[in-house]
């Protein structure tokens, strides 16, 4: 349930603050001892005063001792401060409490309680960056391991490299994770405009390249032909709402926690030229760009609700989108510990992990 190298302080921090919400029995005991001792000492009743006078170490309260050593009681704020101060463990907390991050939504998955304890513990270990990668073994365990990625053979096999930045995994695990988020958005838009008849689990949904009726046109991963040459001409989803003569460009990205806001701005600027061309060519009044950005650890920006509002999608979809990066982090995090020396991946193990993830979430 708890990874041996994960943050111990995070275990006892409330889930709404990003912790796991466990109760520390020793801390509870010490707090009750202090409260009960203070109660006895404050009471101006003869019976209580007699008990205080007699208790010279007979009970844990030691009411009669003036040099009584107060047991340590760690508050939640103290635990958060310790968690934040850690070099590895504190990276996720610093990203979570960033000025542009929606903290409540980003940790809402912890409050749902729909993960097994072992799975939740492994997800938290990935966030704490304590999985035994080659980088961790070299710099933390100091066992002399050569810090070379076993997948792409480049220096620096850290979790920051494996989960969002390994070129060997870009067209496999990363693309699958990206497409799963895009499928959720595409299916909900198709249902909203009556382009499909029924909803199915997003991991089974196979988006059609073009969906069209009298009120809307919906493209999936399709190159947009323009009059002038534009480099970025293949967004993930393009929606044309014919009733209001408006086009919407939707593009999805799953960056690292530190690049959450940067990735959102890059997506908007990337498709500005295409938006101008669509407005001029397709006889629409306006074209808006909607970036859907969720980090590899499930962090969501405060602007996410505004983007969903532009698509007329409900906020409940956030929790479903948030599951995808977590399942992807589980897969790539496991791959980081299961890659062989030759750089090949144990595909049976990867399949087993993906099956477990689908079973847990669906």
pLDDT of 349 reads 42
Q: Is residue 148 part of a domain?
A: no
- Note the maximum CA span of the chain: 95
Cα–Cα distance measured from residue 226 to residue 246, given in angstroms and rounded to the nearest whole number: 17
Q: Is residue 69 part of a domain?
A: no
For residue 112, give every residue at least 6 positions away whose Cβ sits within 8 Å of its Cβ, in sequence order, or none. 319
Is 88 exposed, middle or buried, given 0-12, 13-18 or 19+ CB atoms closer than 10 A? Answer: middle
Q: At 220, which CATH number?
A: 3.40.91
- Which residues lie across from 246 on neighbouring strands? 241, 286
Cα–Cα distance measured from residue 148 to residue 152, given in angstroms and rounded to the nearest whole number: 8
Q: Is residue 274 part of a domain?
A: yes
Q: Is residue 78 part of a domain?
A: no
189 alpha carbon, distance to own chain's centre: 24
pLDDT of 1 reads 72
202 alpha carbon, distance to own chain's centre: 19
Range of the domain at 293: 172-316
Q: Is residue 200 part of a domain?
A: yes
Q: How many CB atoms are closer than 10 A to CB 127? A: 28
Q: Is residue 124 part of a domain?
A: no
Q: Is residue 91 part of a domain?
A: no
pLDDT of 44 reads 86
Structural domains counted in the chain: 1
Mean pLDDT by 10 residues, the chain (362 residues): 87 92 92 90 86 84 84 92 92 93 91 81 90 91 91 90 89 92 96 94 94 95 93 95 95 93 94 95 94 94 94 90 79 54 41 45 46
Q: Could you tell me the CA-to-CA distances from 160 to 71, 149, 321 in Å, in that order?
A: 40, 12, 21
Q: Is residue 41 part of a domain?
A: no
Terminal Cα distance for the chain, rounded = 21
What pTM, to 2 d.p., does this model score?
0.83
């Amino acid at each position: 349930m708890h990874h041996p190298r994960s943050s111990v302080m995070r275990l006892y921090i409330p889930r709404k603050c990003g912790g796991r919400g466990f109760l520390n029995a020793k801390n509870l005991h010490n707090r009750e001892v202090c409260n009960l001792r203070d109660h006895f000492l404050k009471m101006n009743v003869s019976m209580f005063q007699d008990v205080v006078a007699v208790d010279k170490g007979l009970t844990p309260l030691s009411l009669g001792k003036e040099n009584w050593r107060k047991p340590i009681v760690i508050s939640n704020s103290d635990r958060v401060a310790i968690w934040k101060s850690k070099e590895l463990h504190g990276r996720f907390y610093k990203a979570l409490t960033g000025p542009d991050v929606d903290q409540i939504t980003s940790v809402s998955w912890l409050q749902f309680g729909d993960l097994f304890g072992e799975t939740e513990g492994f997800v938290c270990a990935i966030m704490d960056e304590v999985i035994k990668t080659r980088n961790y073994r070299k710099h933390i365990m100091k066992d002399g391991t050569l810090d070379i990625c076993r997948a792409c053979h480049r220096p620096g096999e850290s979790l920051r490299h494996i989960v969002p930045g390994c070129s060997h995994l870009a067209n496999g695990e990363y693309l699958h994770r990206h497409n799963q988020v895009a499928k959720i958005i595409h299916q909900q838009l198709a249902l909203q405009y009556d382009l499909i008849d029924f909803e199915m689990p997003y991991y089974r949904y196979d988006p059609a390249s073009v969906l069209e009726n009298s009120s809307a046109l919906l493209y999936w991963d399709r190159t947009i032909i323009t009059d002038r040459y534009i480099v970025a001409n293949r967004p993930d989803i393009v929606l044309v709402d014919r009733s209001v003569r408006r086009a919407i460009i939707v593009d999805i990205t799953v960056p690292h926690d530190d690049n959450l806001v940067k990735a959102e701005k890059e997506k908007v600027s990337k498709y500005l030229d295409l938006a101008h061309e669509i407005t001029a060519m397709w006889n629409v009044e306006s074209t808006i760009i909607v970036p859907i950005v969720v980090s590899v650890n499930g962090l969501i920006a405060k602007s996410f609700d505004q983007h969903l509002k532009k698509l007329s999608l409900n906020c409940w979809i956030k929790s479903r989108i948030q599951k995808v990066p977590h399942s992807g982090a589980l897969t790539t995090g496991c791959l980081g510990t299961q890659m062989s020396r030759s750089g090949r991946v144990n595909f049976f193990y990867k399949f087993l992990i993906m099956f477990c993830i689908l079973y847990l979430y669906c």
